[in-house]
Structure 1
Amino acid sequence: MLRNVYVPEIYNGSNSNGNWELSMIEALQGIGVFLADGAIYDRAISLFRNRVPAFVYLESDGALPRTKPGDGRDTRDEIIGYWQGQSTFVTGLTQETCRDFTHTGYGISAISHVLETSRIQGIDLYPEFGERLRHALGFQARWERNLEPVPSWLCKGTLHRGLGPITEVGYNAMSNRLGYAMGNTQALTESRRPAGSNNLFVAWETLTHASNPA
């Protein structure tokens, strides 16, 4: 079932919003582990390396966010349109931040799960992608906490919150294990414990990851 039905549906990823492909990548990686199929696993990591930099912006990316190779979005207007009309780019912003935090959370969750699974499988991808995960969590957590007015440059001053219970895995990895200070992510995470399920991709991660540096 996994090899013959699911893999063909997700093997080539998606050019839709980033959470789609990131969720596909997480599934493909898990299938590769379950089937002990190195080719499927490697395909997932190849897709991951292209998609994560196109989902989470860092200042070091330049004036515009990176694009996924071959996605056909080459101009400034096309990139801004794909980023939900957002034209000011700051570290930690995601491709779906201005859509809503719920779908943004799906993407961040998938990133954290792929990184953790890779670590368990013996390949540490945190040096390559940990900064994007850390800043994505921090940026979304800051605005999810709703402690300050939303500036006009961010999503035209309107945010659709609802990040979901998706912070435990990334917060545990980046703060508890790797030692980064993550004030907003910590405050949001601790205020919502015990984290439950979003009925889709996340379930009971306070139980599995909270304060568990190993």
Structure 2
Amino acid sequence: MRLSSLLTTASLVFAPHFVFGFNSSSNDAVVPRAPSSWVHPGVMIDKDQLNFIKGKVSAGAEPWSSAYSAMLGHELASPTRTPKPTRTVECGPTSTPNKGCTEERQDALAAYANSLAYYISNDATYAKKAISFMNAWANTIETHTNSNAKLQTGWAAASWARAGEIIRHTYSGWSSADVSKFETMLRNVYLPVLIGGSNSNGNWELVMMEAAIGISVFLEDGSSYDAAMKKFLGRVPAYIYLLKDGDYPKGAPGDGHDTKAEIVSYWQNQPTFQANGIAQETCRDFVHTGYGISSISHVAETARIQGNDLYSGDVGERLRYALGFHSQYELGTSKPSWLCPNKNLNLGLGPITEVGYNALHNRLGFAMTNTETLTKKGRPAGSNYLFVGWETLTHGDNTA
């Protein structure tokens, strides 16, 4: 069955926070506007959603109760886990060398898991545990180095921002001095590395902008929010292709991939583009593609909370088709000959569908049969140990 028969076409309803134009590279030139009033907690999840989860877990409802139990049983949420901060985090290709890389990513996710556990249970033990990770790193880390420094910074900061938002705005026991140190860490160690973006594979820049936007919300930094959102909105059309783009995908503004030959090479030598939803890294592997799709959904969710509806416009359309396109192959659909010719698909999308599926199917009503099947098959979604964690719990059928 063709993907197009499963999905209706979205009308392009753009949020009033953006002004649209056109530029020579055929990308929408978008001038984003930071919210005039910040919502807290407001990085990927807000208080209404947290209350929804808390009520469902309290009532023993599924899939949230099982997802909550799975998170509490996860090694990253272990009560015996202790922070292992490093002053200089050095991450080379594939984290080789790995000096503090794994510890930083996983400590940030541990802080996030404990922040969720605190809100759901109202047990301050979890809040104190989350704070122990945030304080340890805020008092230690100074820099990231080596070739994967930008990617590592994005992965870790994405989780730090989520955890910090929940604890800061729902728990009174995080001292103002410690909050200030955490702010300083995000502002001085992470944000300067992230805000300029990256011309590497698109999943890099997408998670970097996810992290920069999350930090901007935590710091209430409107100029950084605008800068990161503008770069994000230029990157998404260069990561997910739609037939309306023409014969070839768009290039991201300033990334240097301007000719057809450069774009084909950048898109892992995919020679033709014959369906909505193929991504820049599809022919590399679905794991990295999943990273990019995940960050797109995370930014769209944060933007929704802050008053910017990206789901109803171009970003949502690309996200919807990307989820459906890749889900069908994860479920066993045979690869057409035009897709990644002379190469097998390297599957493994990961636990990344819940946020986008919930927003686009449950909130907006799009029929997403393949994405729905894959999402429900993978419940409860766990963690990828990088920057994704427990999204059945946080966003599974959560329209609050």
Band of TM-score, shorter chain: over 0.9
Q: Is structure 2 residue 393 aligned with structure 1 residue 210?
A: no
Question: 2:258, 2:231 → 1: CA distance?
Answer: 19
| 1:119 partner amino acid | R
> Residues 114-155 of structure 1, C-alpha deviation per residue, up to 9 Å, x if partnerless?
000011111111222110000000001011112x32222111
**Which residue does the alignment assign to 1:108?**
293
Question: 1:125, 1:79 → 2: CA distance?
Answer: 25
Q: Is structure 2 residue 230 aligned with structure 1 residue 38?
A: no
Q: Is structure 2 residue 361 aligned with structure 1 residue 175?
A: yes
Q: Is structure 2 residue 236 aligned with structure 1 residue 49?
A: no
**Which residue does the alignment assign to 1:80?**
264
Q: Is structure 2 residue 303 aligned with structure 1 residue 118?
A: yes
| 1:97 partner amino acid | T
Q: How many percent of aligned residue pairs carry the same amino acid?
A: 64
CA-based RMSD: 0.9
Larger Cα Rg: Structure 1 or Structure 2? 2
Segments of 5+ residues of structure 2 without an aligned counterpart are 1-184
Q: Shift of residue 184 of structure 1?
A: 0.4
Q: Shift of residue 7 of structure 1?
A: 1.1
Question: 1:138, 1:170 → 2: CA distance?
Answer: 11
Question: 1:72, 1:145 → 2: CA distance?
Answer: 35
Tell me whether 174-183 or 204-213 shows the greater mean CA deviation: 204-213
How does 1:148-187 map onto structure 2 within 5 Å? 148-156=333-341, 157-187=343-373
> Residues 156-204 of structure 1, C-alpha deviation per residue, up to 9 Å, x if partnerless?
2410001000000000000000000000000000111110001111111
| 1:126 partner amino acid | Y
Question: 1:107, 1:151 → 2: CA distance?
Answer: 23
Question: 2:312, 2:251 → 1: CA distance?
Answer: 21
Q: Shift of residue 18 of structure 1?
A: 0.3
**Which residue does the alignment assign to 2:41?**
none
**Which residue does the alignment assign to 1:69?**
253
Q: Is structure 2 residue 386 aligned with structure 1 residue 200?
A: yes
Question: 1:73, 1:36 → 2: CA distance?
Answer: 33
**Which residue does the alignment assign to 1:10?**
194
Q: Is structure 2 residue 329 aligned with structure 1 residue 143?
A: yes
**Which residue does the alignment assign to 2:53?**
none
Question: 2:293, 2:310 → 1: CA distance?
Answer: 15
Question: 1:57, 1:71 → 2: CA distance?
Answer: 16
Count of aligned pairs between the two proteins: 213
Q: Shift of residue 72 of structure 1?
A: 1.5
Question: 2:389, 2:381 → 1: CA distance?
Answer: 8
Question: 2:311, 2:336 → 1: CA distance?
Answer: 31
Question: 1:111, 1:37 → 2: CA distance?
Answer: 20
After superposing on structure 2, the runs of 4+ consecutive aligned residues of structure 1 that deviate more than 4 Å are none
Ranked by relative contact order (alpha carbons within 8 Å, sequence separation 6 or more), the top structure is: 2
Question: 1:74, 1:203 → 2: CA distance?
Answer: 35
| 2:312 partner amino acid | P
| 1:28 partner amino acid | A
Segments of 5+ residues of structure 1 without an aligned counterpart are none
- Give the match's secondary structure for 1:155: coil
